[in-house]
């Protein structure tokens, strides 16, 4: 699916570095409108080629007064006015509009951060049509600068309780601005305003469906992969790579060749469970390689987290390379393409933030890139999910008949249980103990009916011994920690509030069922300051 294929009602977001920019994209897509996000300093050509109906200028941490402050390209205003494109500026985006169209932005006398109350001050305004002068609503603000003089033709339609400008508009020129974030849940009426702006003011139609995405992507893959070309895919057992492989398989059949590697760091009965899904439910052509001895022998005695990750990555590349060469001998030709489950947040994150001073891209997450593959493989990439968010991938998987229970699985890290055993993963029987504890914890969560409320839950093996009393005997055994978090996208997270009885039952079951454990701890740290995983 290329952006040009769905551009007729495209809402394009120019990103100026706000932490909420991704959320704008997601909110708009939830209205069945296709939305893309590109750098706020993109060239005019990049914007015009996408032919958007609406452009949203995001918020950002910059001041429009600062030297080198990011801005839309020269010719932008002329382009949108000539082509009838609607523009909405949010926070920094509003200030850009005001400054570049002849108004004035100054450092605010009072900075406005967090929940604030705004009041409608114009009856016949477009942004708050249906509202009356004096109507109030709670919004989320985050700004130090403020518009103090508007360009000619603009009017204030809402102000904050402090008297600051909260919303402006110039319907004739199709420019609108909000000095708050309508996309966050802290602005309870924000989605209503976005819906009104897009449908009623801009006249956008809701026609973007995941079924259309699937058909378009299948068409693209068939056009890309030649009739004699073969494609390989490394399956992790996660949602992204599985949905990507299922989509490609639907397009080209058994010219797709998948490999699933058991590195000895998987969860309880993981190989058995995921291979059952691949073969029985999805009918994917998958080769399962049990390389647990190879991985664990290399990891034995290694305690540094980064070194563990590098060893795991190196061994995986070695196995993947051998798989590709074996496939070449079998087929009589080299495979041409590699399938990756890259998602849209990875694509967005690979662009340097405007105003950061960087000219290079960030590295896409390690479990999504193939930076270490041997150069002689020269594989071309197929990234069928590169314009989708995680929830959209799950929806696509549902349409492709991937089992719902599989689609709802919690994320699992690429290095597996290696990052859930601080220190040497081969110490004692740490892996077996951790698998048992984790299985009890996850099954208890499922039995309690709260699995879908949690973004990620798992157990951690602590490399310490503690004193206990079990069976009237003094014990000196291991402690384990339980971790469960809620999150929208894994970038930030809060720890999950379990009922005390649930925790009591789980702790008792773990200590009574798993030999070698006499203490259960609960991790109640959010992200930040902690990461979700322990290493």
Q: Which of 158, 215, 154, 214 lies closest to 189, judged by CA?
A: 158
Q: Phi-psi category of 523—alpha, beta or left, where left has phi over 0 and alpha has psi -120 to 50?
A: beta
179 token code pair = 């000095």
Are 387 and 344 in contact by the 8 Å Cβ rule? The answer is yes
Q: Residue 310 and residue 414: Cα distance in Å, rounded?
A: 11
For 339, half-sphere exposure in the C-beta direction (CA atoms, 13 angstrom radius) is: 29
Q: Residue 354 and residue 37: Cα distance in Å, rounded?
A: 13
CA dist 364 to 18, 44, 361, 367, 406, Å? Answer: 19, 26, 9, 8, 25
**End-to-end Cα spacing for the chain:** 36
Q: Which of 274, 327, 326, 320 lies closest to 294, judged by CA?
A: 320
Cα 344–Cα 348–Cα 353 angle in degrees, nearest 5? 170
DSSP conformation letters of 232-293: EEEE-SSHHHHHHHHHHHHHHGGGEEEEEEE-S---TTHHHHHHHIIIIIS---EEEEE-HH
Beta bridge partners of 334: none
CA dist 283 to 280, 383, 392, Å? Answer: 6, 21, 22
Which of the 8 DSSP states describes residue 353? P
CA-CA-CA-CA dihedral for 136, 171, 28, 49, to nearest 10: -160
CA dist 386 to 186, 344, 383, Å? Answer: 29, 5, 6
Q: Residue 136 and residue 180: Cα distance in Å, rounded?
A: 14
Q: Which positions are catalytic?
A: 91, 181, 183
Q: Which long-range contacts (CB under 8 A, 24 or more apart) does 191-198 make?
A: 191/27, 193/127, 193/128, 194/27, 194/28, 194/31, 195/31, 196/127, 196/129, 197/86, 197/88, 197/127, 198/11, 198/28, 198/31, 198/33, 198/54
Q: Give 367-429 as a 3 state SS string.
A: HHCCCCCCHHHCCEEECCCCCCCHHHHHHHHHHCCCCHHHHCCCCCCCCHHHHHCCCCCCCCC
Q: Which of 379, 290, 278, 383 lies closest to 336, judged by CA?
A: 379
> At 444, is the secondary structure helix, strand, or coil?
helix
Q: Residue 317 and residue 373: Cα distance in Å, rounded?
A: 6
CA dist 135 to 128, 165, 195, 414, Å? Answer: 10, 15, 19, 51
Are 77 and 100 in contact by the 8 Å Cβ rule? The answer is yes
């Amino acid at each position: 699916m290329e952006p040009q294929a769905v551009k007729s009602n495209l809402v394009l977001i120019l990103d100026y570095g706000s932490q909420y920019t991704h959320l704008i994209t997601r909110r708009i897509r939830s209205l069945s409108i296709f939305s893309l996000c590109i750098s706020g300093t993109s060239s005019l050509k990049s914007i015009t080629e996408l032919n958007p109906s609406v452009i949203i200028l995001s918020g950002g941490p910059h001041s429009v007064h600062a030297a080198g402050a990011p801005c839309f390209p020269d010719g932008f205003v002329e382009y949108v006015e000539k082509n009838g494109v609607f523009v909405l500026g949010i926070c920094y985006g509003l200030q850009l509009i005001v400054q570049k169209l002849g108004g004035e932005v100054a450092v605010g006398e009072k900075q406005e951060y967090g929940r604030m109350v705004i009041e409608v001050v114009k009856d016949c305004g477009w942004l708050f049509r249906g509202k009356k002068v004096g109507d109030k609503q709670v919004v989320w603000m985050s700004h130090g600068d403020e518009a103090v003089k508007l360009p000619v033709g603009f009017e204030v339609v809402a102000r904050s309780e402090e008297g600051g400008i909260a919303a402006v508009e110039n319907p004739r020129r199709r420019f609108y601005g909000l000095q708050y974030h309508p996309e966050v849940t802290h602005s309870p009426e924000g989605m209503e305003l976005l819906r009104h702006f897009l449908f009623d003011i801009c006249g956008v139609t809701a026609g973007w469906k995941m079924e259309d995405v699937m058909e378009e992507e299948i068409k693209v893959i068939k056009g890309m992969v030649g009739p004699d070309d073969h494609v390989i895919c490394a399956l992790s057992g996660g949602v992204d790579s599985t949905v990507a492989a299922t989509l490609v398989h639907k397009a080209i059949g058994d010219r797709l060749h998948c490999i699933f590697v058991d590195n000895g760091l998987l969860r309880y009965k993981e190989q058995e469970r995921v291979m059952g899904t691949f073969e029985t439910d999805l009918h994917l052509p998958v080769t399962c390689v049990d390389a647990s001895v190879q991985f664990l022998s290399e990891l034995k005695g290694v305690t540094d987290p980064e070194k563990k990750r590098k060893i795991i990555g190196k061994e995986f590349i070695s196995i993947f390379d051998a798989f590709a060469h074996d496939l070449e001998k079998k087929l009589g030709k080299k495979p041409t393409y590699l399938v990756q489950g890259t998602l849209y947040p990875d694509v967005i994150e690979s662009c340097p933030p405007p105003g950061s001073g960087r000219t290079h891209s960030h590295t896409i997450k390690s479990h999504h890139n193939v930076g270490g593959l041997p150069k002689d493989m020269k594989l071309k990439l197929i990234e069928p999910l590169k314009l989708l968010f995680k929830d959209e991938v799950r929806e696509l998987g549902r349409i492709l008949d991937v089992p719902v229970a599989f689609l709802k699985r919690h994320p699992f890290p690429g290095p597996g249980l290696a990052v859930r055993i601080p220190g040497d993963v081969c110490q004692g029987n740490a892996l077996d103990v951790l698998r048992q504890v984790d299985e009890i914890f996850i099954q208890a969560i499922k039995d309690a009916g709260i699995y879908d409320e949690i973004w990620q839950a798992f157990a951690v093996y602590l490399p310490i011994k503690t004193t206990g009393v079990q069976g009237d005997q003094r014990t000196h055994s291991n402690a384990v920690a339980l971790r469960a978090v809620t999150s929208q996208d894994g970038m930030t997270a809060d720890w999950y509030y379990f009922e005390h009885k649930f925790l009591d039952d789980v702790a008792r079951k773990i200590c009574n069922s798993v030999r070698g454990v006499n203490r259960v701890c609960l991790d109640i740290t959010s992200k930040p300051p902690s990461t979700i995983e322990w290493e």
